[in-house]
Amino acid sequence: MKALRLVVAALALVGVTALAAPLPATATEEESPVTWAVSPADESGPDGRSWVELELDPGEAATEHLAVRNFGDREVTFALTAADGYFTPTGRFNMLPSDTESVAAGTWITVADQVTVAPGGTAVLPFTVQAPEDATPGDHAAGIAASIYTESADEGAGLGVESRVGFRVMTRVTGTVQPGLDVDTNPNYVISWNPFEPGMIELEYTLENTGNVRLSVSGSVEHGGSTYPAPDSEQALPIELLPGDRRSVSIQVPDVWPLGPVMLPLTITQGVIAPDGETETLDPVELEVTAWAIPWPHLIIILALALVIAGLFWGRRRRTKQIEHLVDEAREAGRREAAQAPPRDDADPVADPRS
């Protein structure tokens, strides 16, 4: 029986916050685990940045550094790769897996194929970002990572795991900045199971970055004197959209009685994220969303009761008409019988006294 070979990739990239705890990966069952971290650096070592932000003209190149830290107790050789970057539906930054070919900013990065790091040591390597001559203005996302590949065999099945840790590399190509945002709304009223309590509206809206630069976006709804989500809640935090990104967001608006159309003022705040991390505020997008709060279950029950009552009423009228019809037929039959009967002579013959 041929051995089954399965490859699994695991990736931990820097997103909005600093690099998380190093991702552990076990080389083999006999060897100690390998833990490591990768971060932006200068020539002397990690410089405290979470990721790399560059601004380049078309055709311009820049040299940056990365630091690979080996927290294990043995020497490890790491493979170094770069790939196109993207945000997942949950808002986490990621890069294409190693078996998927990059076609955008991931191809702009040149880095060594591998690096060997001593136990407890740190290796600092340069990498180059070269913007093509025909690079379009705006933001371009990529990621760079250090990885190890481990394999174990269990009863004839081979299991391979590629574990990667890295950070993102954002490049702003100079030129005309054109922010753009499309908003598509889909409100849905959720009725309460208790007819004496209000329901809620689930307002789902989809954001699409139609421009060429990153956007910081957040949305809120006003209803009944309150703002949803609450300004100090985690849901109120802005999300980041790369050019071309689409993201769906849901807001729950409670305490809505099913009394027909409900107007919900939706405000989308937006801003352009500059290469230095600052956000330039844009005019908000303001929409009036109409949600139909219709008590369909209640209306169905009322309709059913109305049909039952109408059925009873109609049945009673029908039976009354049937009885009236039978009485009329009986009367008509009596009249016909009376008209068809021969006349009767009730006088008795008188005897002639002369006889």
- Tell me, yes or no, whether 217 and 310 share the same domain: no
- Tell me, yes or no, whether 203 and 92 share the same domain: no
Q: Is the pLDDT of residue 355 over 60?
A: no
- Reported confidence tier of residue 27, pLDDT bands at 50, 70, 90: very low
Q: How many structural domains compose the chain?
A: 3
- Tell me, yes or no, whether 159 and 12 share the same domain: yes
- Tell me, yes or no, whether 263 and 315 share the same domain: no
Residue 156 pLDDT: 56
The parent domain of residue 247 ranges over 181-294
Of 173, 201, 235, the position where a domain reaches its end is 173
- Reported confidence tier of residue 155, pLDDT bands at 50, 70, 90: low
- Tell me, yes or no, whether 28 and 150 share the same domain: yes
H-run or E-run covering 37: strand 33-42
Q: Read off the pLDDT of residues 110-133 as tens digits, 9 standing for 90 and up.
A: 999 999 999 999 999 999 999 999
- Tell me, yes or no, whether 270 and 164 share the same domain: no
**Number of Cβ within a 10 Å radius of residue 248:** 11
Residue 32 pLDDT: 77
Task: Give a yes or no: residue 82 inside a domain.
Answer: yes
- Tell me, yes or no, whether 165 and 188 share the same domain: no
> Alpha-carbon distance 93 to 246, whole Å?
14
- Tell me, yes or no, whether 289 and 309 share the same domain: no
> Alpha-carbon distance 222 to 199, whole Å?
16
- Tell me, yes or no, whether 201 and 71 share the same domain: no
Residues 6+ apart with CB under 8 A from 281: 269, 270, 271
Q: What is the mean pLDDT of residues 231-239?
A: 91
- Tell me, yes or no, whether 144 and 285 share the same domain: no
Residue 150 pLDDT: 79
Buried b (16+ CB within 10 A) or exposed e, 319-341: eeeeeeeeeeeeeeeeeeeeeee
- Say if residues 42 and 194 touch (Cβ distance below 8 Å): no
Of 173, 207, 238, the position where a domain reaches its end is 173
- Tell me, yes or no, whether 316 and 272 share the same domain: no
Q: Which two tokens stand for residue 116?
A: 């060997």
Task: Give a yes or no: residue 153 inside a domain.
Answer: yes
CATH number, domain of 282, equals 2.60.40.10
- Tell me, yes or no, whether 107 and 242 share the same domain: no
Under the phi-then-psi rule, with left for phi > 0, alpha for psi from -120 to 50, and beta for the rest, what region is 298?
Answer: alpha
